Amino acid sequence: MSTMRRIEVFGIVALVLALLAFAFWPAKPIPEVITAAPQVIQADHSVIAARAPDARPAPPRHILPKGAVEERREAIVVAPAPAASSVEVDLSLVRMPDNGRRVVASSPDGTVVSALDIPIEAGLMPPAPKPWAAGLSYGTDHSVGIWLDRDVGRLVLGAQLARQQDGRVQAQLRIGARF
């Protein structure tokens, strides 16, 4: 094998190893946004709780289980409906587009007067998905090429261009399923 061919093979192997290291390097989670936010009353009269972060709030009024770490504290005030013997409060913790979480409160037995969400410790949000991939290819027939893939739901769509040993360029289109 000629020196130039050895350099090409070494370069391709080094690049493939670098791409594999990059691909398998774990993605870092994104810290949750816990800045203050006002209470919002929605069209169905449910309430998105005000967010008031506090790193050192007063101890809770209730006992926490042994070993538990309090991450959030919610305070909901509900005015009962006439003739209601008890008040049920429904809470939903939702992930917002700004990488934060908010609490939504509603009650079928009354009106939510106020809602307060106190994040004590920022949670970690999963990193954003990366739907694109690109790389180099090297065939057993010594063809060298480049490829590009795109995830579309459970489908993987791809294209590849490769230079054959005789100098011709071959194009390929790929479609696959993620499982």
pLDDT digits (tens, 9 = 90+) for 84-127: 888 888 888 887 777 778 888 888 888 889 988 888 877 777 77
Phi/psi at 67 (nearest 5 deg)?
85, -5
What are the percentages of helix, strand and coil residues in the chain, rounded to 5? 10, 45, 45
> Where exactly does CATH 2.20.25.570 map onto the chain?
3-28+127-177
pTM over 0.75: no
**Range with the poorest average pLDDT among 14-18, 48-52, 128-132:** 14-18
**Both tokens of residue 67?**
């070993």
Q: Which CATH number fits domain 3-28+127-177: 3.90.1170.50, 2.20.25.570, 1.10.3720.10, 1.10.10.10?
A: 2.20.25.570
**Radius of gyration of the chain, Cα coordinates, nearest whole angstrom:** 28
pLDDT for 20 beyond 90: no
